[in-house]
Amino acid sequence: MFLRIHLAIVVCFALAACVTTGGSPGAASNIAPGERPEITTDEAGLWMASEDVERQLVSSGRVITDPALNTYVKQIICRLSPEYCEDIRVYIVRTPHFNASMHPNGFMQVWTGLMLRAENEAQLAYVLGHELGHYLRRHGVQQWRTVRGTASAMTFFRMAAAAAGAGYVGDIGYLVAMGALFSYSREFEREADDVGFDMMASAGYEPREATRIWQLLLAEKESSDEPDQFIFFATHPSKEERIDTLETRAKTIPAALSGSDTGTETHRAAIQSYLSEWLRDDLRNRRFAPSEVMLNRMIAARSHVPEFHFYLGELYRLRGDDGDAERAISSYLTALEMTDPPSDVHRSLGLVHWRNGRHAEARTAFENYLRAVPQADDKAMIESYLDQL
């Protein structure tokens, strides 16, 4: 109790500091808990458009409704901000990209690409807190007022639906190109970081995890020469200075007041049953370089999870560069040494062996597959292969 009061005072001071140094000219005051804009305001128009997007998203089939997973995410938000907890509706959207976004009417999205990559609850909390910062400080409506006079403003709502609304991202390229429209100004980003960081720290999370998640994202980004395909960076321009700033902030919080919860085990437990699905979704992007960085990081942290090795093998199988066949086989075999490997490992082994002319090994692998999954959906196909091999 005593510690909490201290933290609350820290937060008040920090937020006060934010308000006075805050954003652009005419920056609004914080949105109040339960506040709704007057119907005559332009903000109301923005809320109406946001509600439209929210309704679409809810019926799109992309939202994960699993109560356990939703409880996990919601409790982070409520821990970060007990006062605003009631106003936030969070949706977990099955899209294999790292992203979280906030509409001005309190509707928040967290994409499964983010849930997959966050190493622990604290990292997730930092991102959610950052988004809450945008909400609290009304950056959405301020951004709209800035761009509304411009020719590209009309696309704002439609882009909002594409980028942050309905969770569908087909062409990331155009979202990146539209970055100018969507990326908040440096001032807004700094404000959101300040607010989010303070929420995170005062909620008892380890503040150093804020820099960690940027570092791991940057590692993925830098792995590839391809034009920027990271939607999160399109809307949250990142420079090294952001990391430096966060590191410095982390150091300034007195050790006695700093939380040290990382919530690694909680996070792993929450997403365990979704690992296969989300890793498979990630490979659909066919972005081999960043996916490889991600999988290797996961293996380094936990080397005995068979899914990590299996999907690394799948990556090599799909990439098909020189030497990838051997790498794939090696990863599959590693997966098979672990407890409860996915049965598809045998089938994939069969495919790679066969493509590389190793008929005997392919035959063995396919037979193992059918033994592991006697009623496999593609049994007829596999049996026809066994006839040929």
Partner 1 sequence: MNTVRHILERILRRPIAHPARELLAAALAAIALSGCVPNEALRSSSPLPERVNPSVVLLIKPDVQLSVMTASGLEEPNAEWTAAGQANVERALGQLMRERNASLIPYVEPQGDPDKLGRHNQLMKMHQAVGSTILVHKYNQALALPTKTERFDWTLGPGARQLRQESGADYALFVYLRDSYASAGRVAVVFVGALFGAAIPGGIQVGFASLVDLRNGEVVWFNRLVSGTGDLRTPEPARQAVDSLLTDLPL
Partner 2 sequence: MNTRAWIIIPVLLMSACTQYTLVEPQPQKIGDFYTVAPQIHWSREKQGAIELWTVDGPALQAIRFFSGIEDGESMFPATGADSKLPSYRSGMTAIEVEEFVIDTLARLGGTDVQAANLRPFQFGRTPGFRFEFTFLTREGLEFEGMAAGAEARDRLYLILYTGARSHYFGKHKNDVERIFESIQTSA
Residues that bind partner 1 (CB under 8 A): 39-42, 44-49, 56, 59, 65, 148-149, 151, 153-155, 157-159, 161-162, 166, 168, 170-171, 174
Q: Pick from partner 1, partner 2, none: which does 384 bind, CB < 5 to 8 A by kind?
A: partner 2
Secondary structure class of 290 (helix, strand, coil): helix
CA 284 to chain centre: 16
Phi/psi at 263 (5° precision): 65, 40
Which residue in the block uniquely carries the two structure tokens 């709502």?
A: 157
Q: Which helix (H) or strand (E) holds 64?
A: strand 63-64
Binding partner of 256, given partner 1, partner 2, none, CB within 5-8 angstroms per partner class? none
The least CB distance from residue 378 to partner 2, in Å, is: 4
CB closer to partner 2 out of 148 and 286: 286
Contact criterion met (CB below 8 Å) for 264 and 296: no
Q: Is 167 left (phi over 0), alpha (psi -120 to 50) or beta?
A: left
- Per partner kind, with CB cut-offs from 5 to 8 A, the member of partner 2, partner 1, none near residue 39 is partner 1
**Residue 240 binding result from partner 2, partner 1, none, given CB thresholds of 5 to 8 Å by partner type:** none
Find the Cα–Cα–Cα–Cα dihedral 388, 314, 288, 262, rounded to 10°. Answer: 170
Among 190, 287, 346, 353, binds partner 2 (CB under 8 A): 287
- Find the shortest distance in angstroms from Cβ 107 to partner 1: 16
If binding is defined by CB under 8 A, does position 177 make contact with partner 2? yes
CA neighbor of 354 nearest in space, from 375, 325, 311 = 325
The DSSP symbol for 323 reads T
- Region of residue 28 (left: phi > 0; alpha: psi -120 to 50; beta: else): beta
Least distance from partner 2 to the Cβ atom of residue 307, Å: 17
Q: Which does 47 bind (CB under 5 to 8 A by kind): partner 2, partner 1, none?
A: partner 1
Would you tell me which residues interact with partner 2 (CB under 8 A)? 56, 59-62, 94, 151, 154, 166, 168, 170-174, 176-177, 227, 229, 281, 283-287, 320, 347, 351, 354-355, 377-378, 380-381, 384-385
